[in-house]
Amino acid sequence: MSEAPGKLSDALLELARLVLREPLEELADELIGPAVLLASVAWNRSLIPENTWEPHDFQALVRESEARYPGCSAQLKSTNHEALVMELLAAKRARFPKDRRAVASFSFIAEGRLNVVWEPEEVWPDRMKLQALLGQHIPPGTPLDQVAPPGWRKLLTRPTRRERRRRR
Question: What's the mean pLDDT when you consider all of the chain?
Answer: 80
For the residues of 47-98, what is the DSSP string, one character each? TS-GGGPPP--HHHHHHHHHHHSTTSGGGBS-S-HHHHHHHHHHHHHHH-TT
Whether the predicted pLDDT of 74 surpasses 70: yes
**pLDDT tens track for 94-148:** 999 999 898 888 888 877 688 898 877 777 677 777 777 777 777 666 777 788 7
CB burial readout 25-55, b (16+ within 10 A) else e: eebebebbbbbbbbbbbbbbbbeeeeeeeee
CB neighbours of residue 56 within 10 Å: 15
| Residues in contact with 42: Cβ distance below 8 Å, sequence separation at least 6, in sequence order | 15, 85, 86, 88, 89, 91, 92
Give pLDDT, residue 1.
47
Measured distance CA(40)–CA(89) in Å, rounded: 9
Whether the predicted pLDDT of 82 surpasses 80: yes
Q: Which of left, alpha, beta for 112 (phi over 0: left; psi -120 to 50: alpha)?
A: left
Kindly report the pTM of this predicted structure. Answer: 0.73
157-163 mean pLDDT:
64
Q: What percent of the chain has pLDDT over 70?
A: 78
Q: Which residue has the higher pLDDT, 28 or 9?
A: 9
